[in-house]
Chains A and B, each alone.
Chain A
Amino acid sequence: MQKQYTVSSSPHLRDNVSTRRVMQDVCIALIPAGLASIWFFGLRAAILIAVSVLSAVFCEWFYCKHAKKPIPVGDFSAVVTGLLLAYNLPASAPWWLAAIGSAIAIVLVKQFFGGIGQNFMNPALAARAILLASWATLMTAWVAPQGGNWLAGLTPAATDVVSGATPLQAEAGAYSLWDLFIGNCPGTLGETSALALLIGAAYLLFRRVINWRIPATFLGTCLILFWIQTGTFYSAEAGANSALYQLLSGGLMLGALFMATDYSSSPVTPWGQIIFGVGCGALLFIIRTFNSSMPEGCSYAILFMNVAAPLIERVTTPKSFGEVKSHA
C-alpha cells in the first residue's frame, strides 16, 4: 500500500510571521521606553512594570482556565497589554493599582469581549480610563523625574518625592524641548521619552508590524492643528502654546505610536487607518484646546475612535481590483 500524504487547501507555504512573533516584536519595541522610565523615575518604575505584566499574564491564564478556553498566554499579547498599562501609570502609583489596572484590561476589556482580536477598545487605555475615574488622585500624582536616582520614592526620605506639574500644566519655560524629547519631565512612566518611543516605533515599522498610516496621520493632524491654533511652530517662551511642544507632551507619542496602532481596535482598511489617525489627532486637539479641566486628551481621543473603528472600516472597504466606476 502506498504511503498517504496530507491533503489540504492551498497555499502550501506560510510566511514565518506568527501572532507570537508579532507580539514579541511589540514587547521589544517597548523596551527603550521602559528603560527610560526606570532611568528617570527609578526602580519603582521597574516594580510597577513587573507587577502590571505579571498581573496581566496571570489574569489571562486564570480567566481562560476557568472559562474553559484555550490558554493563549504563549502569544505574548497579555505581556503587551501589561506593559502598556504600566506605561500609563504615574511613577508614584501604588503597586496594587497596576495589578487592578491589568486585571481590568485583560478580563473586562479583552476577555469579556472574546479575547485577542475582539476587544473593541484598546485594553490598556480603557483600563487607564477606569482607573482615572476611580482613583483620580493616585492617577494624577505626578512626580518629577530624578535621572539616575534608582531609589527615588522607595526610601522614607521626604526629599525623595518631588511632585511636579506635567508639561501641559506647567508654565512656559519649565521644560525645554530637549527635556520633552528625552523624557526628563513628569508624566506617566512610558509617555515621557519621545526618543525612546520613536526608537521602538522605528523597530516596529522596520519589522512591518505597524505601518505609517495611523502614526503619521495622527501626529501630522495634531502638528498642523496646533500650529494653526497657536500660530507658532516652536518657541521656548511660548511653552505649551506651540505646535512642537504639544507634539512632544503628554501621552501623544505613546498613544500615536503604540496605542492607536493596536490591531484589534483600529480599522484594517488602508483608508480606514488614515481616517482613524486623522480623527484621533482632531479629537486630541479638541480635548486639549477646549476642555480646560482636562489638559491631556490622548486616551479619550483614541478610545472615541476605537468605538468608531468598525463604522470607519465599513465605509472604507476598498474597491476590488477591477471594480469599474458606475456611470450613473
Chain B
Amino acid sequence: MANTRTFKGGVHPHETGNGKQSTNAQPVIDAKVPACVVIPLSQHIGAPCKCVVTPGQAVAMGQVIGEAGGFVSAPVHASVSGTVKAISSCVVASGQRVPAVVIENDFQDRWDENVKPRQNVGSLDAKQLLEIVRDRGIVGLGGATFPTAVKLAPPAEKHVDTLILNGAECEPYLTSDHRLMVEHAAEVIDGMLLEAKILNATKLLIGIEDNKPDAVAAMRQAAEGKNIEVVALPTRYPQGGEKQLIFALTGRRVPNGALPADVQTVVSNVSTAYAVSKAVRENRPLIDRVVTVAGRVKKPANLRARIGTPIYELVEACGGLEDGVRKVVLGGPMMGMAISSLDIPVTKSTGGLLALGEEGVHAQESPCIRCGRCVEACPMRLVPTRIDAYARRSQWEECSKLGTMNCMECGACTFVCPAKRELTQSCRMAKMGIRASAKKS
C-alpha cells in the first residue's frame, strides 16, 4: 500500500505559540533527586499493583514495591534507595486518589542486585524478552501507559508484521521525545529491534514530524543498515495519534472499535523503545523518565526525573513559575490534564509539565455559528458541533449514532472553534453517557 504520509483533518497549534523552541535545543539534565518520593501503585491502564513492601522496610533502587495486579498490569519499582516511610495514598493527575508508597531517600542510589548488565541478549528468544519487559514495569510512555508487555503479545491470529515507532511528538511545547531521539538514537533503535524480535515484525517504520530535522537525521543515522525506514511527516496535530500515524505510514485504516493489531500493526513510543532497551541490556526497571518543563517557568528544561518526584521540585529546578500562572498541565496542552496543586508526583505517564497563564483559561462560550471548522479539523471525521448539541441535551443515543465513541479526545475541534465551545468536553461527556446507558440496558 502506498505511503500516504499524512491524514485528513487536523490543526496547526504550533502556529499559535508552539513553545517547542524553548526546550528543543537543550540537552536532558538529571533533575535533583528529592529527599522523599511518593510512588503511586497504579501508574498504568489496568489492574492496580499489590503492594509488597511494609513501612520501615529498607528498599534498594529498582526493587519491586508493587507487583502486577493482573495480566493487564505492570509492576512498580522503587526509584530511590532508602526506607519505606508509609503506605498511604496520593492524588494523581486525573484528580483521583490512589494508593502510594512513600520512600525516604538515603541518597545512596544503591541499585537492587538484579539490576546489572545482561550478557546474553543475543541468545534470548521472544518469550524471554517479553518476560523482561513485563518484569521491568515498562508501559507506553506516550501518555496512555498501556502495559508494553501486553501490547507486544498480540494474539497470534492477528499476524502482526509491522512495528511503528511514534516519534511524531505532535503536542506543542513537548520536546522530551525529540531530545531522546537526538541524544539516544542508538538505544531507541536497539529497543525497537528488540520489540520487533518479540513481535516477529519485519516491516519497521519510524514516524517523526518534520519540525524535528535533527531527530530525523540522528535516527536515520542510527537506523542505517537495519532495514528501518525513518519517515519525516508533515507537522500537523494529531500526527502522533495512533490511528493517524498508522494511516500516514502504511495506508492501513484501523476499523472503529478495533486495535492496531487488527491491521497487523503495533505502535510504540520512542521513549518506550528506549526503556525496553535499558530493561533488556541492563535489566533496569522503569524508575525515571524525561519530563519537558515549559511554558511560564523561568528556565524551561528537559529533566530526567525519578518516578515519584513531586511536581513542585521540578518547578523549582526550572527557576520557579513566572507571575500570572493560572493553570498547570501535566502532559501536553492539547490532551494533558490540568492539576489544581503542584503536590502531585511524577508518574510513568508524565511527559510534560506546562505552566500556562491567562491563555490557558478558557474564554466564555458563545453560540455555535456553524462555521464547520470542527468538522474540517476532526481527524476521526466526526461532526463535533452536532455531537455537542446532542450531548448538551443528554441525547446519548443520537451521540452514539454520530460515532462519538470513535472520538479520541485530541482537542482539535475545541482548539479551532471560534465560538470557544467546549466541544471535546461534550464528546467526553457523551462517551460517558453512552457507556452508562449501555450498562443500564
Verify if A206 is at the interface (C-beta below 8 Å from B): no
Tell me, in angstroms, the Cα distance from A15 to B333 when the chains sit together: 12
- Specify the main secondary structure of chain B where it touches its partner: loop
A71 to chain B, nearest CB (A): 12
- Report whether A19 and B256 are in contact in the complex, using a CB–CB cutoff of 8 Å: no
Across the interface, do A12 and B341 meet the contact criterion of CB distance under 8 Å? Answer: no
Residue A22, interface by CB 8 Å: yes
- How far in angstroms is the closest Cβ of chain B from A10? 5
B415 at the interface (CB under 8 A from A): yes
Residues of B within 8 A of A13 (CB): 13, 16-17, 172, 333-334, 356, 359-360, 415
B214 to chain A, nearest CB (A): 25
Q: Which of these, A14, A17, A21, A115, contacts B367 with CB under 8 Å?
A: A115
Compute how far the CA of A16 lies from the CA of B411 in the bound complex, rounded to whole angstroms.
15
Residue of B nearest to A118 (CB): B367
Is A269 touching B369 in the complex (CB atoms < 8 A)?
A: no
Select the stretch in A180-188, A287-295, A318-326 that faces chain B: A318-326
A318-B381, A320-B380 as given contacts; A116 in contact with B369, CB under 8 Å: yes
Chain A proximity of B197: nearest CB distance (Å):
29
**Residue in A closest to B366 when the chains form the complex, CB atoms:** A19
Q: Is there an interface contact between B253 and A321, defined as CB atoms closer than 8 Å? A: yes
Among B356, B360, B370, B418, the residue within 8 A (CB) of A18 is: B418
Chain B residues with CB under 8 A of A211: 372, 376
Q: Are A268 and B370 in contact (CB under 8 A)?
A: yes
From B147-155, B270-278, B420-428, the one touching the partner chain is: B420-428
- Which A142-165 residues have C-beta < 8 A from chain B? none
Quick one: CB contact mask for A16-31 with B, threshold 8 Å, 1 for yes?
Answer: 1111011000000000
Contact of A7 with B383 in the complex, beta carbons under 8 Å: no
Which single member of B326, B334, B373, B406 contacts A10 (CB below 8 Å)? Answer: B334
Q: A11-B424, A18-B420, A321-B381 are in contact. Are A5 and B415 (CB under 8 A)?
A: no
Q: Does A137 contact B (CB under 8 A)?
A: no
Give the interface size bracket for B toward A.
35 or more
Contact call B420/A14, Cβ cutoff below 8 A: yes
Cα(A305)–Cα(B20), bound, Å: 46
In the complex, what's the smallest C-beta–C-beta distance from A215 to chain B, in angstroms? 14
Interface membership of B368, Cβ < 8 A: yes
* CA gap between A269 and B386 in the complex, in Å: 11
With known contacts A3-B341, A10-B409, A322-B406, A22–B371 Cβ distance under 8 A: yes
Establish whether residues B382 and A320, one from each chain, have CB atoms under 8 Å apart when the complex forms.
Answer: yes
The reply to whether A19 and B428 form a contact with Cβ atoms under 8 Å apart is no
Tell which of A8, A14, A317 touches B415, judged by Cβ atoms closer than 8 Å. A14
Given contacts A5-B327, A10-B409, A318-B383, contact A117 B424 (CB under 8 A): no
Interface string of A288-323 (1 = CB under 8 A from B): 000000000000000000000000000001111111
Which A residues lie within 8 Å of B363 (CB)? Answer: 14, 18
A134 within 8 A of B: no
Does A75 belong to the interface (CB within 8 Å)? yes
A203 interface contact, C-beta 8 A: no
A13-B360, A269-B375 given as contacts; is B95 within 8 A of A7 (CB)? yes
Interface string of B316-358 (1 = CB under 8 A from A): 0000000001111100011111111111000000000010100
Q: Say whether A11 contacts B414, CB under 8 Å.
A: yes
Please tell me if the beta carbons of B336 and A10 are within 8 angstroms of each other in the complex. yes
Give the chain A neighbours of B341 by CB distance below 8 A. Answer: 2-5
**Sampled A-B contacts (21; CB under 8 Å):** A5-B339, A6-B326, A7-B340, A8-B362, A9-B424, A9-B425, A10-B337, A11-B334, A12-B327, A12-B354, A15-B16, A17-B373, A22-B369, A118-B367, A318-B382, A318-B383, A319-B381, A321-B8, A321-B406, A322-B256, A324-B256
Interface residues of A, Cβ cutoff 8 Å to B: 2-19, 21-22, 72, 75, 77, 114-118, 211, 263-264, 266, 268-270, 273, 317-324
Instruction: Please provide the 4 A-B residue pairs with the shortest distance between their CB atoms, ordered closest to farther.
Output: A11-B411, A268-B372, A9-B425, A320-B403
| Further pairs besides A6-B327, A18-B418: 18, Cβ < 8 Å | A6-B360, A7-B327, A13-B356, A13-B360, A14-B420, A16-B16, A17-B373, A18-B419, A18-B420, A22-B418, A117-B370, A268-B372, A268-B375, A318-B375, A320-B256, A321-B8, A321-B381, A322-B255
* B→A interface (CB under 8 Å): 7-9, 11, 13, 16-17, 95, 172, 243, 247, 253-256, 258, 312, 325-329, 333-343, 354, 356, 359-363, 366-373, 375-376, 379-383, 385-386, 402-403, 406, 409, 411-412, 414-420, 422, 424-425, 428
